[in-house]
Amino acid sequence: MKPRVLVTEPIVEPVLDFLKTFAQVDVGERGTYSSEQALIDSIEPYTYLLSMLTCPVTKRVMETGKNLTLIANYAVGFNNIDIQAAKELNIRVANTPDVLTEATADTTMALLLSVSRNILLADKELREGKFDGWHPMTYLGLDFRKKKLGIFGMGRIGQAVAKRAVSFGFEIIYHNRKPLAQNIEESLNAIYYSDLELFLKDCDVLSIHAPLTPENRHSINANRLSLMKKGSYIINTARGPIIDEKALAESLISGHIAGAGLDVFELEPKIHPLLLDAPNTVLLPHIGSSTPETRFEIGMLAATAIYKHFNGETDSIPNLVC
Ligand code: DGY
147-182 tens-digit pLDDT: 999 999 999 999 999 999 999 999 999 999 999 999
The confidence band for 33, taking pLDDT boundaries of 50, 70 and 90, is very high
Contact residues for 50 (Cβ-Cβ < 8 A; gap 6+): 5, 6, 7, 8, 11, 19, 71, 72, 74, 302, 303, 306
Is-catalytic flag, 266?
no
> What is the per-residue pLDDT for 113?
98
Is-catalytic flag, 175?
no
What average pLDDT does the segment 203-228 reach?
A: 98
> What is the per-residue pLDDT for 84?
98
What average pLDDT does the segment 81-87 reach?
A: 98
> What is the per-residue pLDDT for 119?
98
CA-to-CA separations, 268 to 74, 109, 159, in angstroms, rounded: 17, 22, 26
> Active-site residue among 175, 209, 224, 239?
239
> What is the per-residue pLDDT for 36?
98
Closest protein CA for atom 2 of ligand 1: 75
CA of 130 to the centre of ligand 1 (A): 38
Average pLDDT taken over every residue of the chain: 98
Closest protein CA for atom 6 of ligand 1: 75
The confidence band for 226, taking pLDDT boundaries of 50, 70 and 90, is very high
The confidence band for 213, taking pLDDT boundaries of 50, 70 and 90, is very high
Which of 53, 178, 173, 56 has the alpha carbon at shortest distance from 104? 53
This prediction's pTM: 0.97
Extended strands (E) in the chain: 4-7, 24-27, 48-51, 70-73, 92-94, 148-152, 171-175, 191-192, 205-208, 232-236, 257-262, 281-283
Angle at 155 between CA 111 and CA 229, to 5 degrees: 50
CB of 8 closer than 8 Å to CB of 32: yes
Contact residues for 186 (Cβ-Cβ < 8 A; gap 6+): none
Query: Mutation test of ligand 1: which of 76, 290, 294 has the most ligand atoms closer than 8 Å to its C-beta?
Result: 76
Which amino acid is it at 6?
L
> What is the per-residue pLDDT for 131?
98
CA of 293 to the centre of ligand 1 (A): 14
> What is the per-residue pLDDT for 184?
96
Pocket of ligand 1 (CB under 6 A): 53, 75-77, 100, 288-289
The confidence band for 31, taking pLDDT boundaries of 50, 70 and 90, is very high
Closest protein CA for atom 3 of ligand 1: 77
> Active-site residue among 224, 286, 295, 309?
286
Instruction: Sketch out the chain's domains with CATH numbers.
Output: 4-99+292-316 (3.40.50.720), 101-283 (3.40.50.720)
Is-catalytic flag, 88?
no
CA of 252 to the centre of ligand 1 (A): 26
Question: Residue 231: left if φ>0, alpha if ψ -120 to 50, beta else—which one?
Answer: left
Q: pLDDT tens, 246-292?
A: 999 999 999 999 999 999 999 999 999 999 999 999 999 999 999 99
